[in-house]
Chains A and B, each alone.
Chain A
Amino acid sequence: MKVNRRVVLKAAVAGALSAGLPLRLWAQNRSNLKFGLAMPLTGSQSAYGKDQVTAAQWAVDEINAKGGVQGHKLEMIVLDTQADAQVGISTVNRLISVEKVPVFITAWSAVVKAVAPIANREKVLELSVGANSPEIASLGDYVFTTFPLADVDVNAVARYAHQSLGKKTAAVLYINNDTGVEAAKVYRDAFESVGGKVVAYEAYDPKATDYSGMLLKVRAANPEMVHIHGLITDLPQVIAQMRQLGLQQRVSTYSAGYNPNIIKQLGPAAEGLIVTSLAPGVGERPQVKEYVERWQKQENRVPNGLPYTQYLHDAPVMVARMYEWVLKNKLPITGENMRKALLGVRRFDLPLTGVVEVDATHRVKKPVNLMTVEKGKFVLLATVN
């Protein structure tokens, strides 16, 4: 090959450009199929964000090792959102206007909500994977969730409390942001629809660390069950302060609580905690077993928020299938066509999460596993369809 100035120049420019650019997984290549991943890499939620990125990374590597999508390599562009709406907005703006991705994956309800107008305006497909605010289903034409929203699992745990555990009264404590507000309504409506009564319904500030006021109110109301809908960072605090006030009721929460760290932090106070899981467990799918074993071997631990990482692992697989559809139908790669692809493929059979069906309702339905803490470990309590 003739080494002429042009080649050298091109290489030099590419090298210089890529030096200052965001985390890139493959060198600049015209035929790469790009998509964005906007996750908290720093900040209070980064422990979850980083593990989710790792899971997605594994999927991308696997796909590319098998030859990519019709010979093209899949390229994932990872940027930090700090799980913060403002940062998320500038991150997504960058993904769209600088990186020109036709589709991006993001999570954390606040971010999903904040970047929705951008996705709709620029006609870029936004895949929400992990956020569960029911509002997400109505954020616009270009916003789709691949993860069941709160009206699926919170509904299940609320009904279970009344119908199977026989709890007649409940208190709902929720974080005063997108994650909590809508989900709390779901719990209340579900619990009351089967005949229960919600005797306390309190919100707490996301920045608060002292919950005495709210918990004293719970104490006054004396419920039989307490449902706490917060982030993994405040959940153990609330439960700990509850126990410190002599409140011994059983506690339920949603999938964010399905985390061995909670048991470590709370010790015996975690016994009886009910959490939901929306992804198949190690016993249900051999691929999940392999996946968890890989984490143990490589990182010496289970991932933070295991079920979420399962969904994040499968998200690039979905993107790959969507690209396949677009290429097969010889359509240009645009956000509009990726959206068509999503609805065109419609039914995705994914390695770690099983079957996911996407349709125009912008919702997904999956069976809910209810787990509980028994003798310091999570065990399956029930499965609700």
Chain B
Amino acid sequence: MDYVFSILILVGIYIVLAASFNLIIGRAGLASIAHPIFFALGAYTAALLAIHFGLNPVLATLAGAVVAAVFSLMISLPSLRISGDYLMITSIGFQLGLLQVIKNIEITGSQGGLSNIPTPIAGPERGAVFSIIALAAAAGTVLLIRWIVRGPYGRAINAMRDDELAFIALGRDATRIKIAIFAVGCGLAGVAGGIYAFYFQYLTPEQYEILASGTMLTMVVVGGMGSTWGPVVGALMLVALPQAITFLQLPPSYMAPVQGMIFTLLVILFLFLKPQGLVSPEPPAPLAHRRAGRV
């Protein structure tokens, strides 16, 4: 039963990550792939506050989200001047650089990881309670993003993504929108981090390397970037597939690499067969002048 709960919790966390990532790269078109590091910032902040100051987990998680949002400025500010592949590589650099710091300072437990994070809930109901929290966070995130995207703010985001110059020429402020989106997206990743820290009680920097970026990107792209449910589908797939593969009952020394091979092959297959993603993009909200012809 614990096993089922940990799967549900992972699903919840992944949905939060995928949806928030989609907000940044899918909706706003900002090519940052450093999402894992914000997940890490949230997790480590929440964990350290709980360990050293005994802060209650909800506040600690919120603090983690705030820290992640603040750090997002380090990417959103440069993104104002550079974009495209340059931004992508810079974000990788930011992620790995910050990871190096985490790996080398003692307070984070460095390479060995941060252990013995206090848990608010003990006992047999632990799994169930955390599952509810994680899934609620997932639902909340998806609904929040849907609300942002469907409202007038959402139209601005779409316009900015589709043609930034025109957007600026029309007198809109791209800067503020970019910074805000980054902050919201990264803050949500921070929340996911806090939940992870308090359930699993152990953090290690290895989970946030460049492969984690690939994983999160996969969730978003394979799920479908242009829709609300795409990331949800992507997250579900990313948790379900590896678990399904474990049921193949391979001998242990082959299990991990074969699992990896099957998974990566499937991703490649999806990329070629369904490049739009599993969930088709939603049609944009209707606007009067759209019917007059293509913008």
Contact = CB atoms under 8 A, between A and B. Distances in A.
Do chains A and B make direct contact within the complex (CB under 8 angstroms)?
yes
Interface of A: 19-20, 23, 41-42, 46, 80, 82, 85-86, 89, 93-94, 97-98, 109-110, 113-114, 116-118, 121, 139-140, 176-178, 181, 203, 205-206
A114 B253 contact: no
Interface stretch (B22-30, B165-173, B196-204, B270-278): B196-204
Nearest to A109: B112
Contact of A178 (B2, B112, B249, B256): B112
B252 A80 contact: yes
Interface string B178-203: 00000000000000000000001110
Contacts of B204: 85-86, 114
B53 interface: no
29 contacts: A19-B249, A20-B249, A41-B253, A42-B256, A80-B252, A85-B204, A86-B207, A89-B200, A93-B2, A97-B1, A109-B112, A110-B113, A113-B115, A114-B115, A114-B202, A116-B115, A116-B116, A117-B202, A121-B122, A140-B116, A176-B104, A177-B110, A177-B111, A178-B111, A178-B112, A181-B106, A181-B112, A203-B104, A206-B111
A41 B112 contact: no
Contacts of A19: 249
Contacts of A46: 253
Contacts of B161: none
Given A85-B202, A89-B200, A121 B112 contact: no
Interface in B250-295: 252-253, 255-256
Contacts of A94: 3
Given A80-B252, A82-B256, A97 B113 contact: no
Contacts of A121: 119, 122
A325 to B, nearest CB: 28
Interface string B101-129: 00110100011110111010010000000
Interface in B1-58: 1-3, 6
B99 to A, nearest CB: 12
Contacts of A86: 202, 204, 206-207
Shortest beta-carbon contacts, A-B, top 5: A178-B112, A177-B111, A42-B253, A97-B2, A117-B201
B132 to A, nearest CB: 19
A181 B103 CA distance: 12
Contacts of B115: 113-114, 116-117
A110 B112 contact: yes
Nearest to B254: A42
A42 B3 CA distance: 23
A72 B106 CA distance: 47
Question: Binding site of A, secondary structure by majority: helix, strand, loop or mixed?
Answer: helix
A203 B100 CA distance: 13
A113 B253 contact: no
A338 to B, nearest CB: 20
Interface residues of B, number: 27
Question: Binding site of B, secondary structure by majority: helix, strand, loop or mixed?
Answer: helix
A89 B252 contact: no
Contacts of A80: 252
Contacts of A41: 252-253
Contacts of B249: 19-20
Most central of A19, A97, A117 by chain B CB within 10 Å: A117
A121 to B, nearest CB: 6
Interface of B: 1-3, 6, 103-104, 106, 110-113, 115-117, 119, 122, 200-202, 204, 206-207, 249, 252-253, 255-256
B112 A97 contact: no
Contact of B113 (A82, A113, A118, A205): A113
A114 B113 contact: yes
Nearest to B127: A97
Contacts of B119: 121
Given A97-B3, A113-B112, 18 more contacts: A41-B252, A42-B252, A82-B256, A85-B113, A85-B202, A93-B2, A97-B2, A98-B3, A110-B113, A114-B204, A117-B117, A117-B201, A176-B104, A177-B112, A178-B112, A181-B106, A181-B112, A203-B104
Contacts of B200: 89
Nearest to A19: B249
B215 to A, nearest CB: 14
Contacts of A85: 112-113, 202, 204
A85 B2 CA distance: 19
Nearest to B100: A205
Contacts of B202: 85-86, 89, 114, 117
Nearest to B257: A42
A206 B204 CA distance: 13
Contacts of B256: 42, 82
Given A20-B249, A42-B253, A121-B122, A176 B201 contact: no
A140 to B, nearest CB: 8
B103 A176 contact: yes
A279 B111 CA distance: 29
A90 to B, nearest CB: 8
Contacts of A97: 1-3
Contacts of A113: 112-113, 115
A118 B117 CA distance: 11
A106 B116 CA distance: 17
A371 B255 CA distance: 39
Nearest to B112: A178
A121 B119 CA distance: 10
Nearest to A80: B252
Nearest to A46: B253
A77 to B, nearest CB: 13
A242 to B, nearest CB: 22
